[in-house]
């Protein structure tokens, strides 16, 4: 996955996805994505639907006829960022009265037509399950009306829509395997903005992976809010729907996708501690192209807090899942999400989060201050009673500890030989490439004759706190050194 990037990615919020440059003439679409990878993946579906409707995408906001913001509601600051962006766009609309602006994604779903009233410059509001309706809605808007569709669906998976890949490096891609979430964690807005959980037809997933591989892609990330609860041909109660067809759960799906080609790396996000099975871990252990990296959000290290969060597991259960990972894949990298200052969190409970982090020693973590979200269980049942300043203090402790662990983990990966998938030029030095090893660690090395999309062998010799640097070596030498695949 991209630098510091999984379900939620603060760093990429606000960054424009790089739409393909459009054909001359015709209507031009500028699409900007915020929030989690699911939103970035959805933007590729939106681009596909609107390309079929005659739009071409542009990277240049100035020449756009239609600007769409694919938005996130996960924390209040995610929504504030969109509001600022809308204010900023006002000028563009003044210069070009024909310009239309639309809101897609989770904030559209949460606020619906209120957005039209609140934010006067919005012409179009479309929720995550209504993108097929975009051509009609956009026509309405072009006719001078406002248009809204925020209907959620129990079935929509956009299974057969071929996404227009907006990241034009052509090496790594996302594949959505399911949508929505049925978990109702008490802090979380996602069940309200994304609706009920539904899984996508495995054949369409495998076909998409195969197509990507044929086009030169070498890594796919399977996306869902809770990938461990992926299921096909079986209902929520475990009753098989069609006896003549196989049941496909996440373990079988990973097996199928990893069979596309041994040179196609497969990652996934996000695992849920309450649902992650040993079977999934065993499939991962069996195959080199299933990357040895698991993002397993813990949220809190104290069972009472976890209970208030309605996470469905205790501290002990979580640590048992970590033990299972270590038993089945001793070298697997593990990352997490942590929330500081949830409703009623005492200092003792906060200390337990620190102690759990010390026990697990995560490679990486995304860490947040609790932000109360309208309509959630926590908003209705509990008081958001940890003062802002105290949340900040707890969060800094969590971040400082994680930095220590991340540094330690990076150092431990130095001096070894890895098979690295080359992604593209390094951000800091155009003479160097960057790629990743199976553990999702970024490795930088001199370009030589390597090409993006190629696998190379690199011996790491040096590192900063999160980036490894190394030298490319020949395959024979890598084999002799017992490289990590
Ligand atoms: N489905 C994934 C996470 C989706 S949201 C899972 O269950 O793990 C990504 C992360 O945002 C969560 O793991 C959580 O750490 C954080 N988050 C969600 N709601 C939040 C809130 N109200 N305040 C602060 N952080 C929140
Ligand atoms: Fe939100 Fe919980 Fe669903 Fe994750 S599992 S999306 S945190 S409700
Ligand atoms: Fe993703 Fe944000 Fe929605 S995290 S699911 S875009 S609320």
In this prediction, residue 130 has a pLDDT band, given cuts at 50, 70 and 90, of very high
How many angstroms separate the alpha carbon of residue 338 from the centre of ligand 1? 8
User: Would the pLDDT of 9 be above 50?
Assistant: no
Considering only CA atoms, which of 304, 366, 377 is closest in space to residue 339? 366
Query: What's the CATH code of the domain at 271?
Result: 3.80.30.20
Q: Which ligand 2 atom is nearest residue 194's CA?
A: 6
Do 50 and 83 fall into the same domain? yes
Do 407 and 421 fall into the same domain? no
> Which pLDDT does position 455 carry in this prediction?
98
In angstroms, the CA 169 to CA 441 distance is 19
Residue 5 within any structural domain of the chain: no
Query: What's the CATH code of the domain at 78?
Result: 3.40.50.12160
> Which pLDDT does position 22 carry in this prediction?
42
CB atoms under 10 Å from CB of 432, counted, come to 15
Residue 156 within any structural domain of the chain: no
How many angstroms separate the alpha carbon of residue 427 from the centre of ligand 3? 27
> Which pLDDT does position 25 carry in this prediction?
58
Do 329 and 381 fall into the same domain? yes
pTM over 0.85: yes
At CA 255, angle to CA 249 and CA 261, rounded to 5? 145
Residue-wise pLDDT for 314-340, tens only, equals 999 999 999 999 999 999 999 999 999
User: What is the total count of domains within the chain?
Assistant: 3
Report yes or no: 197 and 229 within 8 Å, Cβ to Cβ: yes
Do 209 and 357 fall into the same domain? yes
Do 391 and 430 fall into the same domain? no
Residue-wise pLDDT for 181-214, tens only, equals 999 999 999 999 999 999 999 999 999 999 999 9
User: Would the pLDDT of 392 be above 50?
Assistant: yes
In angstroms, the CA 72 to CA 175 distance is 19
Give the residue, by CA position, lying nearest to ligand 2 atom 1. Answer: 188
* Mean pLDDT along residues 229-240: 92
User: Would the pLDDT of 15 be above 60?
Assistant: no
In angstroms, the CA 425 to CA 421 distance is 12
Q: Which ligand 3 atom is nearest residue 106's CA?
A: 3
| Average confidence score pLDDT of the chain | 93
**pLDDT-above-90 percentage for the chain:** 88
What is the helix (H) or strand (E) element at residue 419, kind and residue range?
A: strand 417-425
Residue-wise pLDDT for 104-119, tens only, equals 999 999 999 999 988 8
Do 296 and 345 fall into the same domain? yes
Report yes or no: 339 and 368 within 8 Å, Cβ to Cβ: yes
Do 127 and 185 fall into the same domain? no
Q: Which ligand 1 atom is nearest residue 378's CA?
A: 22
Query: Domain range spanning residue 303?
Result: 172-412
Ligand closest to 368 (CA) is 1
């Amino acid at each position: 996955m991209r630098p510091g990037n999984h379900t939620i990615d603060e760093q990429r919020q606000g960054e424009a996805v790089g739409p393909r440059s459009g054909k001359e003439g015709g209507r031009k679409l500028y699409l900007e994505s915020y929030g989690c990878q699911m939103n970035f993946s959805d933007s590729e579906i939106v681009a596909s639907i609107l390309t079929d409707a005659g739009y071409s995408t542009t990277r240049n906001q100035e020449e756009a006829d239609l600007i769409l913001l694919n938005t996130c509601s996960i924390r209040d600051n995610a929504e504030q960022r969109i509001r600022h962006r809308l204010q900023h766009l006002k000028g563009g609309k003044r210069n070009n009265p024909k310009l239309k602006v639309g809101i897609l994604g989770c904030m559209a779903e949460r606020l619906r037509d209120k957005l039209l009233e609140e934010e006067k410059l919005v012409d179009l509001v479309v929720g995550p399950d209504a993108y097929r309706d975009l051509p009609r809605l956009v026509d309405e808007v072009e006719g001078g009306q406002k248009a809204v569709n925020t209907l959620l669906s129990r079935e929509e998976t956009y299974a057969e829509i071929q996404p227009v890949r907006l990241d034009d490096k052509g090496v790594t891609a996302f594949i959505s395997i399911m949508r929505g979430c049925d978990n109702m964690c008490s802090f979380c807005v996602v069940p309200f903005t994304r609706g009920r959980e539904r899984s996508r037809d495995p054949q369409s997933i495998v076909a998409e992976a195969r197509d990507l591989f044929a086009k030169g892609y070498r890594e796919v990330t399977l996306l869902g809010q809770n990938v461990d609860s992926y299921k096909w041909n079986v209902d929520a109660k475990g009753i098989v729907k069609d006896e003549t067809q196989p049941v496909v759960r996440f373990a079988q799906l990973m097996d199928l996708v990893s069979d596309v080609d041994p040179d196609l790396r497969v990652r996934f996000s996000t695992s849920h501690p309450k649902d992650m099975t040993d079977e999934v871990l065993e499939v991962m252990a069996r195959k080199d192209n299933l990357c040895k990296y698991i993002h397993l959000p813990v949220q809190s290290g104290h069972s009472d807090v976890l209970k208030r969060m309605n996470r469905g597991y205790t501290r002990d259960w979580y640590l048992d899942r970590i033990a299972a990972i270590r038993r089945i894949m001793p070298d697997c990298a593990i990352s997490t999400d942590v929330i500081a200052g949830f409703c009623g969190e005492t200092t003792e409970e906060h200390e337990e989060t620190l102690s759990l982090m010390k026990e697990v020693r995560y490679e990486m973590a995304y860490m947040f201050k609790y932000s109360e979200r309208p309509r959630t269980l926590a908003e209705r049942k509990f008081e958001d009673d940890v003062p802002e300043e105290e949340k900040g203090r707890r969060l800094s402790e969590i971040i400082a500890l994680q930095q220590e662990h991340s540094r330690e983990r990076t150092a431990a990966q130095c001096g070894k030989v890895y098979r690295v998938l080359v992604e593209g030029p390094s951000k800091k030095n155009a003479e160097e490439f960057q790629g990743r090893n199976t553990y999702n660690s970024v490795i930088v090395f001199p370009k030589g004759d390597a090409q993006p999309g190629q696998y190379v062998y690199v011996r790491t010799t040096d590192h900063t706190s999160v980036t490894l640097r190394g030298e490319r070596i020949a395959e024979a030498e890598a084999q002799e050194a017992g490289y990590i695949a």
